[in-house]
C-alpha cells in the first residue's frame, strides 16, 4: 500500500515531495535484493556440484532456473531489473520456482490510499503515474484506489445507522473493501468453504 495524497501533517520517511512511484520502486528494489541474495547463495552452494555432475540433471536444471532468476533481478545486458514473476517461465521452471518461494515471484495488488476528497471525486494526479509505472513492470498487476479515511468514516456511519446518509453526502462513492478482500483471495488462490452441520435431537 502506498500513500497517494499530500498532507503536511503526515510525515514521510523519504525527504522531498510525495512520490508514490518512488516509494513503490524502493519497496520492489528491496524485495529484489532479498531474492538476488538467495539466488547468489544457491548458485554458490551448487555450481561446483553441478560442474562435477553431482546432483544429476535435476540439480543442473534448478541451477539453470536460479541463474535465469538472478539475471532478471540484476537486469543483465543493459535491461532494467525485473521481478521473478515478470519472467517467461515454462511449467517445469515454475515447479522449481514454487519450491524456492522467491518474494518477487508472488502476485502483487497495489493499494493506493487517496484522500477522501480525491476518492469521492475519482481524481488523483498520482494515479496515472502509478498506473504507467505498474504497467511497465509487465506483470498485469492490479491497482485499487481507496481511502482509509472514507472507509473509517463509513464504518462509523454504518454503526450509527447513518450509512445511507453518509454515502449520499459522498456523491455515491462506495466502499472498496469488498473488492480489496476479493483481490486478496484471488491473489492467494483462496476460496471460502462453508460447512453445513445437521442439527437435531434424538427421538426415543
| pLDDT tens series, the chain, 204 aa | 999 988 776 766 776 788 999 999 999 999 999 999 999 999 999 999 999 988 889 999 999 999 999 999 998 777 789 999 999 999 999 999 999 999 999 999 999 999 999 999 999 999 999 999 999 988 889 999 999 999 999 999 999 999 999 999 998 899 999 999 999 988 887 776 666 666 555 555
Which residues lie closer than 8 Å to 83 by C-beta, 6 or more apart? Answer: 28, 31, 32, 72, 73, 104, 105, 137, 139
Closest CA to 120 of 153, 150, 144, 143: 150
- pLDDT recorded at residue 68: 95
Return the H-helix or E-strand segment holding 184.
helix 177-188
The residue ranges of every structural domain in the chain are 1-7+15-147
Q: Name the residue with cell 498487476.
A: 141
DSSP 87: S
Strand pairing partners for 146? 113
The reported pLDDT for the residue numbered 109 is 95
Domain 1-7+15-147 listed as CATH 1.10.150.300: yes
Instruction: Give the residue among 172, 158, 164, 32 at the shortest CA–CA distance from 102.
Output: 32
Burial class (CB in 10 A: 0-12, 13-18, 19+), 130: buried
Amino acid at each position: 500500500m502506498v500513500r497517494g495524497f499530500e498532507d503536511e501533517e503526515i510525515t514521510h520517511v523519504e525527504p522531498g515531495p510525495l512520490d508514490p512511484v518512488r516509494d513503490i520502486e524502493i519497496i520492489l528494489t528491496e524485495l529484489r535484493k532479498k531474492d538476488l541474495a538467495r539466488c547468489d547463495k544457491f548458485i554458490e552452494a551448487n555450481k561446483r556440484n553441478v560442474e562435477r555432475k553431482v546432483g544429476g540433471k535435476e540439480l543442473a536444471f534448478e541451477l539453470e532456473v536460479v541463474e535465469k532468476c538472478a539475471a532478471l533481478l540484476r537486469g543483465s545486458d543493459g535491461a532494467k531489473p525485473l521481478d521473478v514473476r515478470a519472467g517467461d517461465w515454462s511449467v517445469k521452471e515454475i515447479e522449481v520456482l514454487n519450491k524456492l518461494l522467491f518474494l518477487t515471484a508472488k502476485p502483487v495488488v497495489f493499494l493506493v490510499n487517496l484522500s477522501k476528497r480525491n476518492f469521492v471525486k475519482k481524481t488523483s494526479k498520482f494515479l496515472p503515474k502509478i498506473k504507467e509505472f505498474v504497467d511497465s513492470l509487465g506483470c498485469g498487476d492490479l491497482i485499487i484506489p481507496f481511502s482509509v479515511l472514507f472507509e473509517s468514516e463509513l464504518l462509523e456511519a454504518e454503526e450509527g445507522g447513518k450509512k445511507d446518509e453518509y454515502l449520499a453526502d459522498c456523491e455515491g462513492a462506495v466502499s472498496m473493501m469488498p473488492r480489496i478482500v476479493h483481490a486478496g483471495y484471488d491473489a492467494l488462490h483462496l476460496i471460502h468453504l462453508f460447512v453445513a452441520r445437521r442439527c437435531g435431537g434424538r427421538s426415543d
